[in-house]
Structures are given as structure tokens and as C-alpha cells.
């Protein structure tokens, strides 16, 4: 995975909320250098006879920012990263969560990239399994293992696009020590695509029961997102009736894509507003602020 230095932007908008600065975190995100590897690879026994692999790296040790937080990253699409022996994804490596991982590590957070389980690694990857109870239990095992290996006191799930279904499903089903401390749903699946032949294309985060999650919840979109499944006008629907202890709906603005384009499934890809194209630093900094207890 090729990384480059990112300048921290100041064009964050969050549903009318003011930007709360964290100088140490912002300074850390401002510059990132390339790594020789992407993380230590762990293989866990999961549902049935399956195995699930993930790679993780600790955050940089900063004297003035000891967060004790690990971020478990769930990418969209099929969710099949095909991690190599150095923990680097051979597939889906242009996803916003993969791009943001080094920025969060620079700010002191451990990051975890979760691959699809061994029995869901075909062309469709996780497909309809994303909202299955067994998938939630698999993620519980991952989070338990992450807590032990990283020593993190708090573990968050961050799901992007179809990864938001996995994150919402786990947050809705898991309880007590198994549950994540917080969840970020980025460009979440908010409407089904009934015309598609694959039945799992109708899945939405609202149908997972995410409203019952009692941790911290951030629902994040882009104002210019014209993907038919994650339109920014639908973001508030994901938090209706939410029991979360702390909840925010946020819309990132700016970037190279204009607001008002016709909705399309073709816009549900990388290099689009749905994937926060060219706004990695803004995206990562806003999520970091929310994780640290501030507003996006």
C-alpha cells in the first residue's frame, strides 16, 4: 500500500456543530510516512469451521495523547481484503478506511483491518452474511482478541458503505463486554436496491436494530454523495429512536465532487464522494475527534 503525506484540511461541517480542536491529534494526522508492512496478521477460528484473518498495528506512542483506543475497520463492497503475509490488503486497498488507517495510527490509535471469513471470500464476499447473527459473533471474537493484543481500553467499529451493515449488525446484537464502545457508520447503506437480482442488495442499517445500541454512534456522510444507497438526505433516518449515549449525524463538505448530481449506483465506488475522495485528512480528523469524545 502506497502512502503519502496528507495536509490537514479545515473544511469540516457537522450538522451545525462547531469544530473542537485537539492540537496533538491534528498535528499527528498532518504527516504520515510509508511503512514496510501493514500489520501483524492474526487468524481466528470463527463460525462453523471458518477462519477470519485480520492485521493490526499499534498507534504511535505520544506523550500527550494516550488514547488506549483500537479501531476495527470494516470495508465496503464484498469485504474481501485478501491480506498478504505482511498484513497488506491485495483487494479493496483504495477504500477510505484503508487510506485513513495510517492517519489514525499517527494520532496514537491502533488500527485493525478485518478480512472476510474463509467461507465468504468468493466473488460476492460477505454478501448477505453481513447482517447474520454469526457474523456479529465473529466480530465479537475479533474485538476480544484485539483488546488482549493491543491492551486497548476501548474498541470501536468503523464500517464504510456495505461495511456499515457489518458494524451496525454487531453493535445491535452484541451486549456487555462483547459490544463495541463506539460505532462509526460512514456512507451507510440507508436504502435497498430492489431492482438488483441479489436479495442482499436490499439490506439497510436501519433494519439491523442499530437503534438499540447504547454506546457512542456517529453516522457520517458526504453532502455530495449521489450513491443511491447512501444519499445524505437519508442520514438522519439511521438515528431515529437511537438509544446511543452519544450520537451525531455529520455531513462532510468540499472535495472535488459537486452537490446535486443525479443519484446513481455508479456513484457507489471509489473516486466518488461516497468514498470521501481526496478528503482523507478531513475524514480521519473528524472521526478522530468524535472517538475522543468531541464533535465531528
Whichever domain contains 240, its CATH number is: 3.40.50.1820
224-244 burial: b if 16+ Cβ within 10 Å, else e:
bbbbbbbbbebbeebbeebeb
pLDDT by residue (tens digit) across 172-204?
999 999 999 999 999 999 998 766 668 888 999
pLDDT by residue (tens digit) across 24-49?
555 554 444 445 578 999 999 999 99
Half-sphere exposure of 142 (CA within 13 A, CB side): 37
Total domain count, the chain = 1
Please report whether residue 15 resides in a domain. no
Confidence check: pLDDT of 1 > 90:
no
Task: Identify whether the C-beta of residue 14 lies closer than 8 Å to the C-beta of residue 251.
Answer: yes
Q: What pLDDT score was predicted for residue 15?
A: 33
Q: What pLDDT score was predicted for residue 13?
A: 31
Task: Identify whether the C-beta of residue 166 lies closer than 8 Å to the C-beta of residue 133.
Answer: no
Domain of 38, in residue numbers: 23-291
Please report whether residue 215 resides in a domain. yes
pLDDT by residue (tens digit) across 70-112?
999 999 999 999 999 999 999 999 999 999 999 999 999 999 9
**Mean pLDDT, residues 123-137 taken together:** 96
pLDDT by residue (tens digit) across 227-263?
999 999 999 999 999 999 999 999 999 999 999 999 9
Please report whether residue 7 resides in a domain. no
Please report whether residue 9 resides in a domain. no
Please report whether residue 94 resides in a domain. yes
Confidence check: pLDDT of 8 > 50:
no
Q: What pLDDT score was predicted for residue 105?
A: 93
Please report whether residue 56 resides in a domain. yes
Please report whether residue 99 resides in a domain. yes
Q: What pLDDT score was predicted for residue 35?
A: 52
SS3 of 263, please?
A: coil
- The candidate with the shortest Cα–Cα distance to 141, out of 78, 242, 58, 48, is 48
Confidence check: pLDDT of 171 > 60:
yes
Please report whether residue 14 resides in a domain. no
- The candidate with the shortest Cα–Cα distance to 108, out of 28, 22, 7, is 28
Confidence check: pLDDT of 283 > 80:
yes
For 127-207, strand residue ranges (E) read: 154-160, 182-186
Amino acid at each position: 500500500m502506497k502512502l503519502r503525506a496528507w495536509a490537514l484540511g479545515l473544511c469540516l461541517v457537522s450538522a451545525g456543530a462547531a469544530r473542537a480542536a485537539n492540537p496533538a491529534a491534528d498535528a499527528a494526522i498532518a504527516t504520515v510516512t510509508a511503512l514496510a508492512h501493514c500489520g501483524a496478521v492474526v487468524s481466528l477460528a470463527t463460525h462453523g469451521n471458518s477462519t477470519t484473518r485480520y492485521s493490526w498495528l499499534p498507534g504511535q506512542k505520544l506523550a500527550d495523547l494516550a488514547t488506549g483506543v483500537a479501531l476495527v475497520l470494516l470495508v465496503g463492497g464484498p469485504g474481501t481484503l485478501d491480506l498478504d503475509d505482511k498484513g497488506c490488503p491485495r483487494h479493496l486497498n483504495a477504500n477510505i478506511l484503508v487510506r485513513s488507517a495510517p492517519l489514525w495510527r499517527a494520532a496514537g490509535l491502533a488500527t485493525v483491518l478485518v478480512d472476510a471469513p474463509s467461507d465468504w471470500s468468493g466473488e460476492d464476499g460477505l454478501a448477505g452474511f453481513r447482517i447474520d447473527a454469526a457474523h456479529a459473533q465473529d466480530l465479537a471474537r475479533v474485538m476480544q482478541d484485539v483488546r488482549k493484543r493491543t491492551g486497548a481500553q476501548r474498541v470501536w467499529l468503523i464500517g464504510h458503505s456495505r461495511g456499515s451493515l457489518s458494524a451496525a449488525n454487531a453493535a445491535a446484537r452484541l451486549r456487555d463486554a462483547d459490544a463495541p464502545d463506539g460505532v462509526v457508520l460512514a456512507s451507510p447503506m440507508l436504502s435497498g436496491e430492489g431492482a438488483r437480482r441479489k436479495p442482499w442488495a436490499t439490506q439497510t442499517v436501519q433494519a439491523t436494530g442499530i437503534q438499540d445500541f447504547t454506546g457512542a454512534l456517529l453516522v457520517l456522510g458526504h453532502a455530495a454523495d449521489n450513491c443511491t444507497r447512501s444519499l445524505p438526505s437519508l442520514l438522519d433516518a439511521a438515528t431515529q429512536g437511537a438509544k446511543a449515549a452519544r450520537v451525531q449525524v455529520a455531513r462532510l463538505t468540499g472535495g472535488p465532487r459537486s452537490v446535486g448530481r443525479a443519484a446513481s449506483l455508479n456513484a457507489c465506488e471509489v473516486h466518488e464522494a461516497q468514498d470521501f475522495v481526496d478528503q482523507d485528512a478531513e475524514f480521519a480528523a473528524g472521526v478522530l475527534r468524535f472517538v475522543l469524545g468531541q464533535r465531528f
